[in-house]
A and B are shown apart, each in its own frame.
Chain A
């Protein structure tokens, strides 16, 4: 693979493992989990929260101390980890796994506190709102709230041992293209901030985000048109615009078991009028409706395969299908998704 155009300094060169993975459509889990920060991005509803939670579980299983961060703050990430809503300070949800949720107001205060030593005040809401308004107009500050906090957590050290508090941080990004502005924020800030301690901090954050060894993105898509198109566009903008590495794309809710000729033959025989009576008696019911199940399965399999091909032809990275999971209660689904990921990335 040629190095991507338009990425100055550190263009993304996939590691040997990733290159091998591309060739064989695989990436190994250890490589992925060895990153410091994984951003999980994609269109709304594609399973970002579930995937973030699953990667966090896998990290913890691999013996890492993991922090999962919810940028969307709807409480979905905590729920996917089987925990009640968390807050702005990391909440332990299970051994070696904590979760925290970013909210604008709190992030704003924390930001002021961390980077400007402004003491926390009880009610900063109107101020935060004005800030919000202006921040939408000026590239950088609002997104810096997000990356700033993530970078702060990345750098945090245990008081005594000076070892990092977290081995791995997995971030559940906001829907759509927002991740791009988060990741590009530090770069944008560099053009605004000319000197002083802030500049050093921003430079450091930019360095973290654009280091493919430490930071990566996992894209989520569904076997539907818009989520796939958005994943492809997002990948282009992330690599060309923000200069951030993307390690893999997950095609979630994939239906990957094909309907074979043998299945069709059996189905046909089951509804054959010649045997109808005995079959109904043996099975305890008429099997005719089952044909609809086969048809839907075949349709969904074809759709999945079509979007798999599309993603694989457009994305220079492994595209990993994660099957549709039927039992749906937060942690159960997450565990099943984690198992599917680890078996496909093993």
Chain B
């Protein structure tokens, strides 16, 4: 028996469920659905399931744009070669797994490098500039590792796909990051970087003889960099920054249209969280930020919630008796006609009480959810079996 659906379903839970029923239908009219949340909470799983739920609810062409370094999702969806090119998930396969979709469901994986390269090509005033940047040894490392670079690539890919208009609805899985806000801030952060005054100071310098004659404000930094890295590296940096400045207008313009898309009434954010204190407070913070940025929050998915069977008063009493009553083992041995050790009795009581404690803690967290505003809140139970199988995804899609 799976713990997820064990035991009675009390009233409160049913109402929450009903409220959430048809999240797929509710989100189906949107052009873009973005799943955000801190690392490991279930964004990839939920976005795949949402894609299914939307395609099941309406006859739409749905794309799930995922970022899944482990490629677990591809395996679960039964498609081997998931890459930047969208792959269709066969209807028959989904049907066999228990869900019938009326629309089309496709999945694509974000290709970081490709997204960045395309972006450089697009914003460069000419081919030569693009080539020069792409060839700069700093370029790859910078795009790999500056804060928000994955997020930026995801946003770019989303924007392009949306622009091309091939899909009715694009569900976006966001990259694992410590800070979900990185996603929202990525475009402006990039604009800031490229436009920063100090970068322009840097970019003015000729490289060969160092920067000693340069602007006073940048002098200490350049002296340091020179000592630290040597003139050769500095020359590379300078060249790179110089070229990057040429892209500024393009990047700034794009950032503006991206924010317009993210704020559009045709876009919806779905915040995914668990009830662990860390991810939960991050989700709360993220929801506030969305409101501040005027970006539309459409639902909160609370994942891995302990099932209500662990909030049962009778169960609690029985478990407490098994743990606390010193004579209980003897009594049980006599009444049940089996040998019962007090260790066994205590073990059974204790395993239940442990989950009760956690379920109570979760309930306190859940109570705080109302602070997040008037959005549907979907509780996704903690499944005992792996959700990395297609059947598991379908189960989640149906809960949505």
Contacts and interface: CB of A to CB of B under 8 A. Distances in A.
Contact of A285 (B139, B197, B276, B316): B316
A130 interface: yes
Contact of A126 (B197, B357, B388): B197
Given A127-B221, A278-B335, A292-B307, A283 B318 contact: yes
Contacts of A279: 335-336
B45 to A, nearest CB: 12
Interface in A191-249: 192-194, 198, 224-227, 229
A269 interface: yes
Given A292-B7, A293-B355, A138 B224 contact: no
Interface string B131-158: 0000000110110011000000000000
- Counting chain A CB atoms within 10 Å of each CB, the highest count among B233, B276, B361 belongs to B233
Contacts of A131: 221, 225
A8 interface: no
A294 B335 contact: no
A136 interface: yes
Contact of B228 (A127, A198, A287, A327): A198
Given A45-B278, A267-B348, A299-B384, A134 B237 contact: yes
Interface in B120-178: 138-139, 141-142, 145-146, 176, 178
Interface stretch (B58-66, B84-92, B255-263, B337-345): B337-345
B227 A292 contact: no
> Size class of A's contact patch?
35 or more
B358 interface: yes
Contact of A291 (B6, B228, B229): B6
Interface string B189-230: 000010011110010000000000000000011001101111
Contact of A130 (B139, B221, B348): B221
A273 interface: no
- Counting chain B CB atoms within 10 Å of each CB, the highest count among A45, A118, A289 belongs to A289
Contacts of A139: 141
B354 A126 contact: no
Contacts of A43: 39-40
Contacts of A58: none
Given A137-B141, A265-B338, A126 B196 contact: yes
B1 interface: yes
Given A44-B178, A292-B6, A266 B340 contact: yes
Contacts of A270: 318, 332, 336, 348
Interface of A: 43-45, 112, 116, 118, 126-127, 129-131, 133-134, 136-141, 175, 192-194, 198, 224-227, 229, 257, 259-260, 262-263, 265-267, 269-270, 272, 275, 278-280, 282-297, 299, 326-328
7 contacts: A129-B196, A133-B142, A137-B141, A269-B338, A286-B315, A289-B314, A290-B348
4 shortest interchain CB distances as A-B pairs: A289-B315, A285-B317, A285-B314, A293-B352
Interface of B: 1-3, 6-7, 38-40, 70, 72, 138-139, 141-142, 145-146, 176, 178, 193, 196-199, 202, 220-221, 224-225, 227-230, 233, 237, 240, 276-279, 307, 309-310, 312-322, 328, 331-332, 335-336, 338, 340-341, 344-345, 347-349, 351-352, 354-355, 357-358, 361, 384-385, 388
